[in-house]
Amino acid sequence: MSFPRLLRFSTLFLTLLTVTLLVWHQYGMNRVLRIDGSSPYKMEAVDDRLTGGGSRASLKRVGTRLHVECQLSDKYEWPFCELGIPLTKPQNGLDFSDFDHVTLKVAYQGPGSRQLRFFIRNFDPAYSKPAANETWKINEVTFSPKPGGEVIEIPLKSFTVTSWWIANNHIPLAHIAVDMRHVPLIQFSTSGFKEPGLHVIDIDYIEFHGKWLSREMLALILVGLWVSFAILALLLDLQLLQRKLQRSRLRENTLHALTEALQLENRKIGDMARRDPLTGVRNRAGVLDELFRESELARNSERQLAMVYADIDHFKRVNDEHGHDVGDDVLKQFAQELGSHIRTGDYLVRWGGEEFVMFFPNTALLAASQLAEKMRRHVETVTWPSGLRITCSFGVTVLGNEPVADFIKRADEALYEAKGNGRNCVVTREAPLPARAAVKA
């Protein structure tokens, strides 16, 4: 996949992901902690008798309902009855800071104002002691439920820290704000006023609502994703530009080396004939552009480019003994026989004299060697002008990570090795290993 397409796809994906997360956060991603009479927490009713009062409180679990009865006495200056719900050990308090609000279904019957106080207690080693819950911060809200019961939604930001707790515990300014990060206990308590009589409190459920990810955390994640994507895109773009620059420099160097290898007398290739007038196949100038393009494709992909160098054995003897006309006929037929074995997209070039070169794109060394051997045997079996017996030699190689001039030179060396081995044979040369691979080997 090209870089522009990858960039467009990634941008679209991140946009869809962002929209999905924002919509999910708005309408879903809900986190709920529900507490009712069926919850496993150990709950207890507490009254003011421990401080010299005469009030009496009792707790019953009726299905999922918590039923608290309080016979409030005015014997104590600040009479109260209280329902305590321990959630964890003090040091392992629950984090309520990610919740937005609490929903209560509660009913309150009794004399007086029927004010109910709701405490969320926070433990912090900076000012709290595990065994003394009076040192645990009191985050408080006060409300008056209807006698017949109602569902009340209270934002957690409505809670305040009681001033008397701050004063009694000498809390420094750094710790006087609401804190719900380590909550081991929640409580419900009567108003603390002298309102003697029977007070009945029924709590059907307590539900803390919030999101699994806060708005701030979601925003931080999304910003992090987009920033990371932008950085990655810039790095990939920089890498792409560097590769283009490297390919441009390689193209320049390769073109210079190729021009020298082909020994062009006239650098204006457009003005040169591209075909050999005798055989009708390409000449050196006629294959220059295609050879350059195929070598670039081979370097930038996993395709291999093979070269087969062919030479008619003892061709000088044919000219000397049978004349140049027969020699020309042999050259023309030789070009036809080689051309009958190549594919559309392959290149047959008369390199000079009796030498022909074939370039095979997307062809491995073994396949090129096998094809050369097939052509060698074919040349031996066909009928030639004047009843001659013609044989030929082949040098085969593939393009490595190298200039094209070195590629051509290696095929030429393989051909000369074939001639040195007695002619009428195929010699194959491997491409040189890349520098790193050579070091490892």
- Give the domain ranges of the chain: 30-212, 264-440
- Closest listed residue to residue 303, CA positions, set 362, 345, 367: 362
SS3 state at 2: coil
Percent of the chain scoring above 70 in pLDDT? 95
What's the pLDDT score for residue 117? 95
Confidence of residue 46 (pLDDT cuts 50, 70, 90): very high
26 vs 84, higher pLDDT: 84
What's the pLDDT score for residue 289? 85
Model confidence over 129-177: pLDDT tens digits?
999 999 999 999 999 998 788 999 999 999 999 999 999 999 999 999 9
- Token pair 């990810």 is at which residue? 213
- Token pair 């999922």 is at which residue? 64
Residue 276 pLDDT > 70, yes or no?
Answer: yes
Element (H, E) at 377: helix 365-381
Lowest mean pLDDT among 27-36, 152-161, 375-384: 27-36
Mean pLDDT of the 210-233 span: 85
What's the whole-model pTM score? 0.52
Q: How far apart are CA 410 and CA 408, in angstroms?
A: 5
List the beta bridge partners of residue 190: 116
Residue 262 pLDDT > 80, yes or no?
Answer: no
What's the pLDDT score for residue 416? 96
Question: Is residue 406 exposed (0-12), middle (13-18) or buried (19+ Cβ within 10 Å)?
Answer: middle
What's the pLDDT score for residue 37? 92
Q: How far apart are CA 419 and CA 421, in angstroms?
A: 5
Lowest mean pLDDT among 72-76, 92-96, 140-144, 325-329: 72-76
Q: How far apart are CA 94 and CA 399, in angstroms?
A: 68
Model confidence over 335-358: pLDDT tens digits?
999 999 999 999 999 998 999 999
Model confidence over 54-64: pLDDT tens digits?
999 999 999 99
Residue 306: count other Cβ atoms within 10 Å of its Cβ. 26
Q: Count CA atoms within 13 Å of residue 422 on its CB side.
A: 1
98 vs 378, higher pLDDT: 378
Q: How far apart are CA 267 and CA 260, in angstroms?
A: 10
Residue 265 pLDDT > 60, yes or no?
Answer: no
Residues 6+ apart with CB under 8 A from 137: 121, 122, 123, 124, 127, 128, 161, 165, 171, 175, 179
What is the sign, positive or negative, of the torsion defined by CA atoms of 114, 115, 120, 126? negative
Model confidence over 229-252: pLDDT tens digits?
889 888 888 888 888 888 888 888
CATH number of 264-440: 3.30.70.270
Confidence of residue 30 (pLDDT cuts 50, 70, 90): confident
Kindly state the tokens that stand for 379.
């040349």
What's the pLDDT score for residue 18? 86
Q: Which fold has domain 30-212?
A: Jelly Rolls (2.60.120)
Kind of pairing between the strands at 426-428 and 392-398: parallel
